[in-house]
Amino acid sequence: MNDMTTDPRLALNVRRSILGQPWHWRGAPAGDLDAGSPDDLVTRLLLTRGCPRDQIEAHRAPTIRGFMPDPSIFRDMERAAERIADAVQAGEPVTIFGDYDVDGATSAALLIRLLRQLGLSPAYYIPDRLREGYGPSGEALVRIAGGGTRLIVTVDCGAQAFEALAMAREAGADVMVVDHHKCAAELPAAYALVNPNRLDEGEGAAHGHLAAVGVAFLLGAALLRTLRARSFFSGRDEPKLIELLDLVALGTVADVAQLRGLNRAFVAQGLKVMGQRRNIGLAALAEAARLTRAPLCHDLGFALGPRINAGGRVGKSDLGVRLLTTEDEAEARAIATELDALNEDRRAIETDVQAAAEAVADGDHAVHIAAGEGWHPGVIGIVAGRMKEKIRRPAIVIGIDETGTGKGSGRSIPGVDLGAAILAAKDEGLLVAGGGHAMAAGLTVMANKIEALRDFLDARLSEDVARAASARALQLDAALSPRGVAPALVEALEAAGPYGMGWAAPRVAAGPVRVIKADVVGNGHVRAILAGDDGASLKTVAFRAADTELGQALLGAPKDRRLWVAGRPKLDDWGSTPRAELHLDDAAWCD
């Protein structure tokens, strides 16, 4: 039986592709994308991503004004803003305590830059991932308080720091938590805890998809409003919070936050700010990443974000914040160069850990758990993400140290809330520590409890994983001929962006085509030149696919056998003339 039937109008019916999945349409089947106007195309893309018809115009060009809520809807927001305003007016020492990832670094940098504009010289503290682990420790908070700081703001961490915050309170510090991770019913002893994912959150719960840097931006807006009401800006300039949106965009995309609602506006407008290269550190990082054009959403997640992450992953946790807050161009270039080098080191470490993790088979479980001694804790999250993509179910990778303590990082799939499951495992006494959100989680577990953890997650998540697997299909927006994959198409598709988690990038099917040439390039990528029946050629790339069914099919395709390919149109701007190519997700034989 054929896996696919086609007709001249490009109506696809793929029941089982090369990767073993059906192809479905987002909305009604669509023909050649060149058939309608760019406005029609953007409207169709917005509607099929859940945009209400009466909000098309607002989503077509998302603005902060169009999506920004009143910050006061969030619990403790006013209390937090009043306390920081007091510190600003009194010239009080403030320390920002951040996480070591991109969301933590951008959150810390945003508040540091804002407070500097308000006349303070805030200190910051980023824990060392290898020595101190995730989140605030009581020892660190007490040490900060002992140095004379009475106001500590934790960003992208702290929602589960019960013991640490209790110690800080006893030491006389006011600690406020600005976070987005899952909260338990009981909250730690914070002066204020601003988090849309508090279980007692009201109207603000609708914004639970925000990254921590988005919550920090809202706190900044509340702070400026409070100071404005106190006439603080009489005779002085008010900071332009909008100029910090480049940080918000970077943290939001790098943390894989859902790009819907306010997050879409954050990223759309933040990319414009980033294109102006106001932030010296970000400009230097773009140069180190060899980005010469205006940044795209994809660049934040795959070029800039990994480099900032590299410092925290391999032992220099404060480099990201230093880069994003410096006003010295020479320092910015030096830090960016160092982060670029560390990113190369991270890639080598990641390759080794991934090979070891893939060699560990855990059978058919709801959540794939791979654990090994000596695995670098700085790359386990990346490896978990790679494994999740490969096996299409949640994955947790755990590195075990010489004491038998395992540090783990997990990545999930849509429809499976891994963060909530990890919190539940912690409540059951299976974990030393743990938390996260729906798509990602971190944990600390003793090696002798890993099997019990696996059994617990099986019992809790098996039905969710099975449901997600049965619903899995490659979603297509349109079909077109190879000639239709052109720069004009890519530009038209970008108008419905930004794309990311929760706002899927357009995927098209192109064909029928034959494989003219295919080879392996780089780190296991398969590059193929395809040709349509009319002779038009199409350049494609299947990333990390050399050892997959898709890669093998392309490399061994008979010259006379036709297939359809599905993927995401992208611009190849290498050289003087931009060309379009297709980044492949799947393919299916025509006969």
For residue range 267-300, list pLDDT tens digits in order: 999 999 999 999 999 999 999 999 988 898 889 9
In this prediction, residue 352 carries a pLDDT of: 93
Instruction: Give the per-residue pLDDT at 8.
Output: 32
Query: Model-level pTM?
Result: 0.84
Asked if residue 485 has pLDDT above 70, the reply is: yes
Assign 526 to helix, strand or coil. Answer: strand
| Cis preceding linkage at 295, omega within 30 | no
- Alpha-carbon torsion (224, 280, 106, 167), positive or negative: negative
Question: Is 576's pLDDT higher than 80?
Answer: no
CB atoms within 10 A of CB 328: 11
Please compute the mean of the pLDDT values over residues 498-505 and round it to a whole number. 85
Q: Does position 11 have pLDDT exceeding 50, yes or no?
A: no
Q: Determine contact, residues 196/171, Cβ cutoff 8 Å.
A: no
Q: Which residue has the higher pLDDT, 521 or 437?
A: 521
Torsion sign, CA atoms 475, 478, 480, 483: negative
| The predicted structure's pLDDT at residue 230 | 97
Helix spans in 392-449 (H): 418-427
Higher-pLDDT residue of 44, 383: 383
In this structure, the chain runs to a length of: 591
pLDDT at 235 exceeding the cut of 70? yes
User: CA 410, CA 387: separation in Å to the nearest integer?
Assistant: 10
Average pLDDT value for residue range 57-67? 90
pLDDT at 575: 61
User: How large is the average pLDDT for residues 28-40?
Assistant: 53
pLDDT digits (tens, 9 = 90+) for 392-413: 899 999 999 999 999 999 999 9
Whether pLDDT at 262 is above 60: yes
Q: For residue 124, what are its two tokens? A: 């910051």
Q: How confident is the model at residue 7 (pLDDT cuts 50, 70, 90)?
A: very low
d(CA 256, CA 248) in angstroms, rounded, equals 12
- Quote the CA–CA distance of 471 and 460 in Å, as a whole number: 19
Q: Is the pLDDT of residue 5 over 70?
A: no
Average pLDDT over residues 559-565: 92
The chain-wide mean pLDDT, for the chain, equals 90
Has residue 210 got a pLDDT over 50? yes
CA separation for the pair 250, 214 (Å, rounded): 10
85-133 confidence digits (pLDDT tens): 999 999 999 999 998 899 999 999 999 999 999 999 999 999 987 777 7
Q: What is the mean pLDDT of residues 321-327?
A: 97
What pLDDT is stored for residue 256 in this prediction? 85
Secondary element (H or E) of residue 111: helix 102-117
Contact between residue 250 and residue 281 where contact means Cβ atoms under 8 Å apart: no
The reported pLDDT for the residue numbered 3 is 40
Burial degree of 215 (CB within 10 A; 0-12, 13-18, 19+): buried
436 φ/ψ angles, rounded to the nearest 5 degrees: 150, -155
pLDDT band at residue 457 using 50, 70 and 90 as cut-offs: very high
* Residue range 420-441: mean pLDDT, rounded: 92
- The angle that helices 280-288 and 305-313 make with each other, rounded to 10 degrees, is 90
- Work out the average pLDDT over 3-18: 58
Percentage of residues of the chain with pLDDT beyond 70: 95
Give the per-residue pLDDT at 34: 44
Mean pLDDT along residues 520-532: 94
Locate 571 and state its tokens. 């611009």
- Give pLDDT tens digits for 158-198: 999 999 999 999 999 999 999 999 888 899 999 999 999 99
Beta pairing partners, 397 = 370, 409
Band the pLDDT of 38: cuts 50, 70, 90: low
Q: Give me the pLDDT at residue 6, please.
A: 37
pLDDT of residue 9: 37
